[in-house]
Amino acid sequence: MNVKKFTAPTSREALRKVRESLGPDAVILSNRQSDGVVEILALANDDAASLAMPAPHSPMAEPAPSLDLGAVSAVPSAGGRVEPRFDEEPHRAPVMAAMPAGLPPQPQRRVVASHSSLATKVAAAAPAPTPAPAPVAAQPKAAPAIDASQIAAMVSAAVASAKENAAVEMSGMMNEIRAMRGMMETQLAELSWGATQAREPQKTAVLREMLAAGFSASLARYLIEKLPAGRDAADSLRWIKTVLTRNLQTMANEDALIDQGGVFALVGPTGVGKTTSTAKLAARCVMRHGPDKLALITTDAYRIGAHEQLRIYGKILGVMVHSVKDEADLRIALKELKNKHTVLIDTVGVSQRDQMVTEQVSMLQGAGAHVKRVLCLNATATQETLSEVVRAYQGSGLAGCIMTKLDEAAAIGNALDVVIRHKLNLFYVSNGQRVPEDLHLADPAYLIDRAFKLKRDIVNTQYLDAELPLLMSGANDNAMREVHLG
């Protein structure tokens, strides 16, 4: 058996090569695409026929019966030669009976011998009752047996190739179906919001207010779809503010943070105000419990003057500042400061896309004490950036967050949106550099109301009427399923 492989850029050219090499009756074993070419495994028709081996106990598997040469008689031919001949009926009948049914009768074989040699053999055989054997035509060679392992390997290769091709085709088909589904959902959403603009103009007015305040299209779409019917624009906006206020988790008083005490680490990217926020919290602790109950730790050994900045704050407050470099130093420092009521850790600022974020979280979690991580969120950053920061620093969970640079933000709805969607506990908001005056407890109602008041001038000019359906059609509200409605 000789299996041949043919490769060509196209299936048509590969089949042409098979036809030219093995003939039109060639058997195709497999057909697949590999590295931009078509690969075909083919077998000649004669080799394929040899694969059809007879069953072990079938008549075809039994050896062919031998001919009885005792019935050969010499018959003179027309040229003077003597030809041996089988008897017609007595000895031919058993041979024909042994052949399987349905097969055509085989023609008789005639063996021609020379006159002298045949005469000599007949004479020598005359006295003896046993006739001399006559020459028999050579039997054709049996086809070599096919190894079962080779057949199994060929079948396995063909099945694997077929599965691979089917998987590739199925993957492409599923991608096309997803693309068609997304296109249909987008078009249907555009039609739906286009009809909403004409049928319920109060929803369009509320949508413009939320987008101008900085809230995401996904949160706006979710809340507007849940908006109770029969309300005007003003009443609908009040309902939206109530729901947002209820879903903004804040700290009612400082007892849970200042009076309870513990170890707190302020984390976040570079430049979000971690050191200043640490100094503000330290001042609040000193005013309530005194400098002896507070300890400050800094891990920022990268920035020039970072340690000195916190040391100056500590000198003003009368608090010792400790500097650590790694997890071992932090573990030793926390062990020495275990008698302190509150320990504040100022960490080094790391980009949310840096691998050091994971190392920093691991260092704080393995410090040997329960370190509560407080994330500082920059109110001037975009929603995408803030969401990325939360996902990077969240780790096993955040104790809460502090919204910084509130005085520099043109809109604060983006930061409030991230806090609501990620279920963060908002401890404080910071609106300046003064220590400790510019740190305030988060007031949900005030923050939501301020978010809607900041961008009043662009409510009706930010988006055109034709752009709203397109904007809302791409909004995904899967993350809004846990928003509690009021």
* pLDDT on residue 106: 46
The rounded distance, in Å, linking the Cα atoms of 135 and 149 is: 40
* pLDDT on residue 199: 65
DSSP 372: E
- For the stretch 107-160, pLDDT in tens is 444 433 333 343 334 334 444 444 555 554 455 555 555 677 888 888 888 888
Per-residue pLDDT for the chain (486 aa), expressed as one digit of tens each?
A: 678 888 888 888 888 898 888 888 888 888 888 777 888 888 887 776 666 555 555 555 555 554 444 444 444 444 444 444 444 444 444 434 344 444 444 444 443 333 334 333 433 444 444 455 555 445 555 555 567 788 888 888 888 888 888 888 888 888 888 888 767 766 666 566 556 555 677 777 788 888 888 888 888 888 888 888 777 888 888 898 999 999 998 888 877 788 888 888 898 888 888 888 988 999 988 888 888 888 888 887 666 555 677 788 888 888 888 888 877 888 888 888 888 888 898 888 888 887 778 878 778 877 767 888 899 999 888 888 999 899 888 877 788 899 999 888 888 888 999 999 888 999 999 988 888 888 898 889 999 988 888 766 666 556 656 566 656 665 554 545 455 554
* pLDDT on residue 402: 92
Structure token pair of residue 452: 């809607």
* pLDDT on residue 376: 92
* Bridge pairing between strands 262-267 and 371-378: parallel
- Asked if 213 contacts 416 with a C-beta cutoff of 8 angstroms, the reply is no
The helix or strand, by DSSP H or E, that contains position 321, with its residue range, turns out to be: strand 321-323
* pLDDT on residue 457: 62
**Amino acid, res. 421:** R
* Bridge pairing between strands 439-441 and 73-76: unpaired
* pLDDT on residue 87: 45
* pLDDT on residue 123: 38
Count CB neighbours of 118 within 10 A. 20
The rounded distance, in Å, linking the Cα atoms of 221 and 217 is: 6
Beta strands in 54-130 (DSSP E): 73-76, 82-85
Count CB neighbours of 409 within 10 A. 20
Helix, strand, or coil (residue 253) = coil
Long-range contacts of 221-224 (CB under 8 A, 24+ apart): 221/472, 221/475, 221/477, 222/477, 222/480, 222/483, 223/480, 223/483, 223/485
* pLDDT on residue 122: 35
pTM beyond 0.75:
no
* pLDDT on residue 23: 86
* pLDDT on residue 403: 92
The rounded distance, in Å, linking the Cα atoms of 144 and 167 is: 37
